[in-house]
Structure 1
Amino acid sequence: MNIVLIIQILIGLIAAFAIYNLMHYLFVTRPSKKRLLAAQRVVNQAVMAALQALVKDGKVSQLNEEELHSEMIAHIWGRGVMAFEYHIPVDRVRVSIPDLRDVLSAALSDYSQKNHIRAQEKGKSAFVITDMWQLDDRLHFDVAYLVNLTTVEYLDDLKRLH
């Protein structure tokens, strides 16, 4: 009789664990990933448009979409952080890295205003370059999409680190 009770308890625990994981996936993981992918598409469009504006100004050489790569960095900073790392060939850049950061920030802000993309905090650009660096033959930069409180808090944390 004791062994039957132990088996029933084990089956109950396994079933509870399976149900918890299924619910977590359906109601937390999957919607979060969908929001992150949608945000990445928005930021990709903004970055490409901003870089095209810089091409017109002679700050960057012509880029095709295959040369612009983006990666999610939410797995590093936590769920809900809408920030993405981009890298482009450094030989496409015609200005210094600090100057590129400034003009790219301005271009992203212009894109945000022209397309009525609002940040979580009113009066701020929806897109913020959080970091920019060169590694080998690639120029890397991170862009945060300030569409939710989690990303705004991430940006505040970065400011505290500096």
Structure 2
Amino acid sequence: MILIIQIIIGLIVAFAIYNLSHYLFVTRPSRKRLLMAQRTVNNAVAEVLKQLVSAQKLAPIREEELHSEMIANIWGRGVMAFEYHLPIDRVKVPISDMKELLADELAKYGDQHKIYARRKKSPAFVITDIWQLDDRLHFDVAYLINLTTVEYIDDLNRLH
């Protein structure tokens, strides 16, 4: 009986140690990298949208109108991709043109700030999708800073 209790206690301790070490060495650093990437992409998108407002492709956007969400929970750990949405009434160009404008401006932003993808001299920020849902324009931006995100983009390209 004592042996069974010791085995059960040992299993509980091993389970607790495993979960603690997984949190400290995998989950927490991964979350930190994702949040750092989100800040970088948020800065890039905010700057690009300011450029598009000054070029009169967008109406002025207040900071609280621009939202970003992590989509790594959907596509898997390590994917540095974020969804943004803003009011559709701010967009003054067709959605297909908007995708090209965003991609071009993000590439310029990356060049100006010397931010490049894992692949040499290719843009670090990629618009993976853009669509309208109800009264909001949604677009996804991938930050090609790691191999997981590059593979995610390759998979998306295979789907198209």
Q: What range is the shorter-chain TM-score in? A: over 0.9
1:6-47, Cα deviation, whole Å (9 max, x unpaired): 000000000000000000000000000000000000000000
2:52 — aligned with what?
54
Q: Distance in 2 between matches of 1:131 and 1:144?
A: 10
The alpha carbon displacement at 1:115 in A equals: 0.6
Match of 1:145, as an amino acid?
A: Y
The alpha carbon displacement at 1:133 in A equals: 0.3
Query: Unmatched 5+ residue regions in structure 1?
Result: none
The alpha carbon displacement at 1:118 in A equals: 1.5
Alignment partner of 1:53: what SS?
helix
Q: TM-score, normalised by structure 1?
A: 0.98
1:112 — aligned with what?
110
Match of 2:146, as an amino acid?
A: N
Q: Aligned match of 2:36 in 35, 38, 41? A: 38
1:64-116, Cα deviation, whole Å (9 max, x unpaired): 21110000000001110000000000000000000000011000000000011
Alignment partner of 1:99: what SS?
helix
The alpha carbon displacement at 1:123 in A equals: 2.2
How many residues in Structure 1 have an aligned counterpart in Structure 2?
Answer: 160
1:17 — aligned with what?
15
1:142 — aligned with what?
140
Match of 2:3, as an amino acid?
A: L
Q: TM-score, normalised by structure 2?
A: 0.99
Match of 1:114, as an amino acid?
A: Q
Q: Distance in 2 between matches of 1:24 and 1:100?
A: 42
Poorly superposed stretches of 4+, deviation over 6 Å? none
Alignment partner of 2:117: what SS?
coil
Q: Distance in 2 between matches of 1:119 and 1:159?
A: 17
Structure 1 vs Structure 2 CA RMSD: 0.5
